[in-house]
Amino acid sequence: MKILLVEDDQPLAQGLAASLEDAGLLVEIAGDGRTADFLITTERYDAVILDLGLPDGNGAQWLSGWREQGIELPVLILTARERWSDKAAGFSAGADDYVTKPFETAEILFRLRALVRRAHGHAHPVIRIGDISLDTHSAQVTRAGMPVSLTAQEFRLLSHLVHAAPRVVSRAELTEHVYDGDTEPDSNVIDVQVSRLRRKLGSRSIETLRGRGYRMVSDNTAS
């Protein structure tokens, strides 16, 4: 899961980003609305954490601008403004959820995961494909009820495939959502990680469609 964190307060942005990265998320930071606007229109993210008090205008105004452009990205408002008149302004601009400062990282994670899951059309926190299930709350993966241990990178890759299923996910999309923008992976890395996931989850759990990408499939039906 790749997140854009729009927050002008440097210490807060870095502290929150570090906590989120510890939880296995990819986080990019934008310090103002203009940078965020540029990143959102050029990069792919799974969700945005948006501070309302930005140096170059109210976050709600940037948000309604994005919504007008048809950007349907889930947006979690992060605000110190607790009055409902402020919150309501955020919602009418198109926010999906909000967390007030000060916050607990666990809550932001919880809200983000729920937003991303719902954005992919999954109402239930546990997504099942065949005998593989992914608990979006606790970030746990089980195969036939047995926990599977994954690295952060592997979890991100799997999580994206699971959320997207049964859609085919292109290699470009995976590159954008799963890997840090600075360390662009060569195509080999994805292949290697996919085969590692296949080893842990069953050889037929991830299907390769030549020239198109990867897709999660129900192992049982494939066999």
Partner 1 sequence: MISADKLRRLPIATRMLASALVLTVLILPAAGALLSWNFREAVNTAFNERLESLLNVVIAGVSYDVRQDTLVTNRQLGDSRFDRVFSGWYWQVRDEGERVLTSRSLWDQRLAISHEPGMAFRTIIGPRDKQLRLLERDIRLPNLDEVLHVQVAASLDEVEAQVARFQTLLWLSLATLGGLLIVLTGLQIRWGLAPLRRIEQSLKAVEQGRQPAIETNLPRELARLADAINTVLDRDQRLMERGRTAAGNLAHALKTPVAVLGTLVERLPQEQQQAMAAELKRLDEAVRHHLARASAAGPVALGAEQELIVVLKPVVEGVRRLAGRRGLEFHSELNSGLRVRIDAQDLQEIVGNLLENAINWAKSFINLTGTVEGGWLVLSVSDDGPGMSPETRQQALSRGGKLDEAKSGSGLGLSIVTELVELHGGELRLDDSPEGGLRAEVILPLAQLRSGG
Which residues contribute to the site for partner 1 (CB under 8 A)?
A: 9, 11-12, 15-16, 18-19, 53, 74, 80-85, 87-92, 95-105, 107, 114-115, 118, 123
Report, in Å, the least distance between residue 114 CB and partner 1: 7
Report, in Å, the least distance between residue 19 CB and partner 1: 6
- Closer residue to partner 1 (CB): 18 or 172: 18
- Is residue 64 classed exposed, middle or buried when 0-12, 13-18 and 19+ CB atoms within 10 A define those classes? middle
Token pair in block for residue 23: 């939880």
What is the Cα–Cα distance from 114 to 111, expressed in whole angstroms?
A: 5
Q: Which residues pair with 148 in a beta bridge?
A: 141
Report, in Å, the least distance between residue 145 CB and partner 1: 25
Report, in Å, the least distance between residue 93 CB and partner 1: 10
- Closer residue to partner 1 (CB): 19 or 170: 19
Sequence-separated (6 or more) residues with CB below 8 Å from residue 11: none
- Nearest one of 183, 185, 160, 181 to 4, comparing CA atoms: 181
What is the Cα–Cα distance from 146 to 50, expressed in whole angstroms?
A: 37
- Closer residue to partner 1 (CB): 114 or 178: 114
- Closer residue to partner 1 (CB): 111 or 177: 111
